[in-house]
Structure 1
Amino acid sequence: MLDLGLPLDAPDLARASLPEIDGLEAPSASLLAIIVSHGHRDHWGLIPKVQATIPLAMGAATEAIMAAASRFVPGGVALNAAYHLVSGKPMSIGPFKIIPHLVDHSGFDAYALEIEAGGKRLFYSGDLRAHGRKGSLFERLVRNPPENIDIMLMEGSSLGRLANDQRFPSETDLEEGFLRRFEETSGIALVACSAQNIDRVVTIYRAAKRAGRTLLVDAYAAEVLSATGYATIPKPEHGWPNVAVYIPQSQRVQLVKNGIAPLVDKYRDFRLWPEQLRDKAGRLVMLFRGWMMQDLDRADALAGARVIWSQWDGYLADGAGARLRADCERRGIPFETLHTSGHASVPDLKRLASAIRPCRLIPIHTFGRNQFPSLFDNVTLAEDGEWIDV
């Protein structure tokens, strides 16, 4: 099985149903493994509901990041991998030969999958894009595509989000935008983005450093950055310049309550304390979530502040995003959005499909599947739950 995510439109895990696949709820010799392409919940979120003997495959960094996040995120899960995906390294699970391809995506350590069995070949795009900090991976895939693909399962998350001839801004474009805003902000710059969007954190760090500011992260973000295992990712405990750790009051309480307070001992030399926030505010960029506002308010560190929302703007419609925007309006804090998609634009999807030239292309991960036949060749529209013979 390739991914087993919680659908984006599911109300919650408890009410979400598993697909009718033998082996998910009771052991079956037919189900050999579940491969997790990357660590976004819409690709692994139903796995906690399956029986525990199913082997899992995922990237080593995905496994480590999910374990780190599970200590902080409500509903977070640490998954244990029986197999690790390594880009370009073939692996076998039963009769299936699988070649993972590391791809550019807002989820770190994300893979497309080339699969062969019984003389047939399938390519699963997973989630990917060409405009992130690892866009060279997309270009490499287009230059050296897998050959003789019978079926390509290709994501289409971007369909309907912008015109079919337009492209999303790049992470490099965002870096310049962040730099301008940091230079224009007299107080603390608060960036609301996911700590697991490692590309975005690197973009923000680079802009902060260029602006002469320090990137301030909480314990959760520090642990996620550390879990990547990459020396090129900024991490507080490894002596990176312009990175510091601030642990909000409620997070300190959570760490003690969960018995994991010693987790942050390694950050002691890189900590910023509440009494320092006010004086240093104009030289800080903080990875921020709305509940942190009360800490900054208590520290009197909000003069001249600016909030930049750097994630999907759909989250602003209600819930925590809507509350944050309303709080900023009440406080007179400027609020704006600076973001780009984690998914490929239509022109880049066309490049990918043209390079791979599958005998059949089946849309997945999209609310715009009916647009596929007018955009791509050899499209087969499949219904959820429908079995397809290769």
Structure 2
Amino acid sequence: MRCRIHRGCHEIGGNCVEVESHGKRIVLDIGLPLKDEGEVSVPDIGGLTSKDDSLLGVLISHPHPDHYGLLEEITEPVPIYMGEASRRIIDVSAFFTRLPTLGNLEPHVLSDQQTITLGPFSITPYRIDHSAYDSYCLLVEADSKRLFYSGDIRGHGRNAHLFDDLIRNPPRDIDDFICEGTQIGRDPDFAFPTEHSVADAMAEVFNETDGMCLVWCSSQNIDRLVSVWDACQRSRRQLILDMYTAEIIRAARDDALPKPGKEGVTVYLPFSQKQKIKREKAFHISNPYYPHRIYPDALAEAASGSVMVFRPSMLRDLQRAKCLNSASLISSVWSGYVHRNRKELDEMAALGIQRKQIHTSGHATVDELRQFVEAVPARRVFPIHLEDRDGFAELSDRVEIRNDHEWWEVQ
């Protein structure tokens, strides 16, 4: 068995790993780069855009576009594998946002620790903690060799037990370990070390705010949505979800989540989402939410007892609804996104809306990465999804550095 990283050796995002054995191949992730580089082509892998029956499948670790975003560019009928909830989340995101679609692909299902066989390969997914719902590490076996791919990981979310379980009981006898290293060399974004501390801090802000509380967070970060809901319940406020967020929660099919219809959970339809539904005649999406809707003319009266999942593009809607008196804003996203939306945030500050950053990263801290690398019994460790490769090398004397497109034999 041999493998190569097509993208990710020198950058965060755009993950793509090709693995070969006995003339057959599989691909682990096929993501878009996070840096804006204009049009990005599919990696030069036979079987994606040109016929090559030796490519047996593409496996997606989780539903973030820097791991699946080039799927829609595949023109050949190669089998695709991902978690069942991942497929539904990608479909919802593609409708409401500019995120990539699955194209005409019909994925097969990956399930936690359920091994699948593709030619000479046996692949076992291990569910892991990450800001994306339905995330997996992938164990690949062939030729009596074992390759372990981390995907994206962390150990401080609401599924931290998955990280802890894998550290206590990792797959045995790993030969090569491809591990993400996002946080190596970056400015720490861990003022709040866990999702539970995020919820605690949010509850304090909710209790101190006279008007509406706005929380800017990713609709796909379901852990964060649960933290917001937790803080709502403690501060006795209702939670208002926009319809895109409500659809992400529906797609997860998890009864523990704040689904519309549960006490204190309502749905607001922003103008842009309303226009999209009307334009596409997608009333099958909006109709089930009618009993749980809150409309613009009711927002001002409900403001003092409400928390709304928010994004800067919704500001004009809320200004028209006149519901922002004495409001507060919590930004609960990576600080880089805050800088990219400075214009809207400055406008909100001019309206007297105070902002507080309450966030914890979707990626492992340096200490968590060190724990993970030490726990996985691999002969060699290869970093991916990072910018500071030399910093990663300090985690272990088993680290080896590779470049994009460089084949190596699993030993």
TM-score, normalised to structure 2, is 0.90
The match for 2:372 among 352, 356, 365 is 352
Structure 1 position 83, deviation (Å): 2.0
CA drift at 1:42: 0.4
Aligned to 1:216: 240
C-alpha contact (below 8 Å) 2:196/2:227 kept by paired residues: yes
- One-letter amino acid of the structure 1 residue matched with residue 342 of structure 2: A
Which residue among 374, 395, 405 is the counterpart of 1:375? 395
Deviation at 1:370, TM superposition (A): 1.2
Mapping of residues 6-155 of structure 1, within 5 Å: 6-12=32-38, 15-78=39-102, 80-155=105-180
The 10-residue stretch of structure 1 (138-147 or 259-268) with the greater mean CA deviation from structure 2:
259-268
May I ask how many residue pairs the two structures share in their alignment?
A: 383
Whole-angstrom CA distance in 2 between matches of 1:82 and 1:185 = 45
Deviation at 1:120, TM superposition (A): 0.5
Aligned to 2:206: 182
Please give the per-residue CA displacement for 1:176-212, whole angstroms capped at 9, x wherever unaligned.
0000011011100111111110000011011011100
Residue 252 (1) aligns with residue 277 (2): no
SS of residue matched to 2:200: helix
Which of 166-175 and 352-361 deviates more? 166-175
Cα deviations across residues 337-360 of structure 1 (Å, max 9, x unaligned)? Answer: 111110111111111111112111
The residue number in structure 1 matching 2:19 is none
Does the 8 Å CA contact 1:58/1:81 hold for their aligned counterparts? no
RMSD: 1.6
Note if contact 1:191-1:308 (Cα within 8 Å) is conserved in structure 2.
Answer: yes
| d(CA) in 1 for partners of 2:297, 2:168 | 54
Alignment-mate amino acid for residue 196 of structure 1: Q
> How much does 1:377 deviate?
2.7
Distance 2:91 2:42 in 1: 23
1:156 aligns with 2:181: yes
- The percentage of aligned residue pairs carrying the same residue is 38
Is the contact between residue 91 and residue 99 of structure 1 (CA under 8 Å) also seen in structure 2?
yes
| Alignment counterpart, residue 193 of structure 1, candidates 197, 207, 217 | 217
Cα distance in structure 1, aligned partners of 2:307 and 2:46? 49
Give the one of 323, 326, 330 matched to 1:304: 326
Which has more strand, going by share of residues? 2
Residue ranges of structure 1 left out of the alignment (5+ in a row):
none
Provide the rounded CA distance (Å) in 2 between the counterparts of 1:23 and 1:343: 32
Distance 1:115 1:291 in 2: 42
Question: Within 2, Cα distance between the matches of 1:88 and 1:167?
Answer: 34
Letter in 1 for 2:251: A
Matched, 1:334 2:354: yes
TM-score w.r.t. the length of structure 1 is 0.95
CA displacement, residues 69-108 of structure 1 (integer Å, 9 cap, x when unaligned): 2211124313644421110111111111111000000000
Bigger shift: 128-137 or 342-351?
A: 342-351
